[in-house]
A = this chain, B = another copy of it.
């Protein structure tokens, strides 16, 4: 019978594990308290039974599920689970864990175990997580690799994070273009295995230059006497190790790729990029973007000490306080005006807030356009014009609404007019700045998703206060 893993299965495993860990804690607490030798023996037995059950349960779990479970457990429970994992299993869990939890696990593992565990990894996987490990330990593991593995490790680590070379795998199957299908099939049979996600074999010439791809489908369905070069597809999307991983990811999405060859500058086959790695990359990228936008330096382990978390948020808090202080100084310039008409103090946050919110809509559109390569030189001008026009229209419509409300509330038509004019002007400013900020950050080589929102809100706050209070000073008091 088939066994199916699903969300429910994972939840069940988690619940069972939690119960087992709970028991384990109770038993340990008891063992500490109990004095009688007899009782101790019984407890020890129960303890061992429970542990055996835990081990059996853990062995059955997929490493990705284990990584997930470790992620949601408090640190004490994590250590119990972690200690019970066999080296190969533990190594796979390290690969699947988030960066913050991986760092923590590595830090909590004794050196001999860590070395044994890292020795279980493929060289490219070792390179992938080597940032989390003490370089000395990496060097020790590296020494234990054979020459071929060492060179694989080197070739992966040579490429920076975020490049195709960093993500590619050395596992692929290639066939020579001169063979027929029967011969190619024999080669594959002799090899005895195919790496996962192999939908096609890469076809190379005598100099190992990529010539095309031969799908397993054709290998299965076509006449064995047909020539590989006649059957293969020559329309192959390939990458170079230097290319940005995000560009490659876009190509994977666009062309529905499962695996693609990676070639060096002379066209020689050097590796393979697979869709599972690409999906993983995309997920991590989307997550870190969402966190960066909220001003978090990066992933945060839920069970990290509060002190670490507090410091993780300081840079943003500092930047935020600085911008808020500057905006506050703008208000300070108009203290006498506010003294004369205190209603201004209550109304000014509205102008600033509406500007910030509509500006951030523009920012979101521009960032998305940049991320999807949809903003070209030709249509950027078009977008700017349109956003300005949208700002003008919305400013006219909603400025009128708010102006009427303010006039009614404070019984002053001039106050309503100033409010309406300030909102209109601030929305136009928001549209301009909302377009310009991400484009300029991108031009400067910065990630527009990171700083745009702060810069925009700072501008719309300052300008909102300045425009509103300035108009009020000129026309009202």
- Of the listed stretches A124-132, A383-391, A436-444, name the one at the interface; the rest are far from the partner chain: A383-391
Contact check, A2 vs B212: say whether CB atoms are below 8 A apart.
yes
Residues from chain B with Cβ under 8 Å of A373 in the complex: 7, 68, 72
Q: A147 contacts which chain B residues (CB < 8 A)?
A: none
Task: Choose from B306, B310, B379 the contact partner of A72 (Cβ within 8 Å).
Answer: B379
A220 and B219 within 8 A (CB): yes
Interchain CB contact under 8 A, A253 and B279: yes
Mask, A219-233, CB within 8 Å of B = 1, is 111000000000000
- Report the separation of the CA atoms of residues A64 and B328 in the bound assembly, to the nearest whole angstrom: 49
* A357→B317 contact, CB < 8 A: yes
Q: Is B328's CB under 8 angstroms from A349's CB?
A: yes
Q: Which of B303, B329, B331 contacts A382 (CB 8 A)?
A: B303
CB-CB under 8 A from A62, the residues of chain B are 254-255
Chain B residues with CB below 8 A from A5, complex form: 235, 237, 251, 255
Segment of A43-51, A103-111, A190-198 in the binding face:
A190-198
Chain B positions within 8 Å of A398 at CB level: 317-318, 321
Which A293-317 residues have a C-beta within 8 angstroms of B?
A: 293-296, 300, 302-303, 306-307, 309-310, 313-314, 316-317
Which of chain B's residues have a CB closer than 8 A to the CB of A6?
237-239, 243, 251
In whole angstroms, what is the CA distance A324 to B253 when docked?
A: 41
State whether A349 touches B346 (Cβ < 8 A): no
Nearest CB of B to A343, in Å? 7
Say yes or no: is A1 at the interface (Cβ < 8 Å to chain B): yes
| Nearest CB of chain B from residue A476's CB, rounded to whole Å | 15
- A220-B185, A313-B390 are contacts. A335–B343 as well, Cβ < 8 Å? yes
Count of identical protomers in the assembly: 2
Inter-chain contact B307/A393, CB cutoff 8 Å: yes
A220's nearest neighbour on chain B, judged by CB, is B188
Question: Is A394 at the interface (CB under 8 A from chain B)?
Answer: yes
A364 contact from B189, B294, B375, Cβ within 8 A: B294
A sample of 23 cross-chain residue pairs with beta-carbon separation below 8 angstroms, ordered by A number, consists of A2-B236, A4-B238, A5-B237, A5-B255, A62-B255, A64-B254, A192-B221, A193-B217, A194-B220, A279-B282, A286-B286, A290-B367, A290-B368, A302-B369, A306-B386, A306-B389, A306-B390, A309-B386, A309-B390, A313-B358, A317-B394, A335-B343, A338-B342
Query: Smallest Cβ distance from A210 to chain B, in angstroms?
Result: 6
Contact partner, A302, options B237, B318, B382, Cβ 8 Å: B382
Question: Closest CB-CB distance, A174 to chain B, in whole Å?
Answer: 13
Q: Lowest 3 A-B CB distances belong to which pairs?
A: A294-B364, A256-B276, A345-B345
Q: Quick one: closest B residue to A253, CB to CB? A: B279
Report the minimal beta-carbon distance from A243 to chain B, rounded to whole angstroms: 8
B279, B295, B382: the one contacting A74 at CB < 8 Å is B382
Residues on B with C-beta less than 8 A from A352 are 349
Instruction: Map CB proximity to B onto A333-352 as digits: 1 under 8 Å, 0 otherwise.
Output: 00110110011111111101
Q: Does A405 contact B (CB under 8 A)?
A: yes
CA distance A336 to B3 in the complex (A): 71
Bound-state Cα–Cα, A236 to B393, Å: 56
Given A290-B364, A316-B361, A329-B346, the answer on whether A3 and B235 have CB atoms closer than 8 Å is yes
CB < 8 Å neighbour of A402 from B321, B344, B349: B321
Given contacts A291-B364, A294-B365, 8 further A-B contacts (CB under 8 A): A4-B236, A7-B250, A253-B276, A303-B379, A317-B398, A331-B345, A338-B342, A339-B342
Taking the complex as formed, is A280 at the interface, i.e. its CB lies under 8 A from any CB of chain B?
yes
A401 within 8 A of partner (CB): yes
0/1 string, A50-79, CB within 8 A of B gives 1: 000000000000101100100111100000
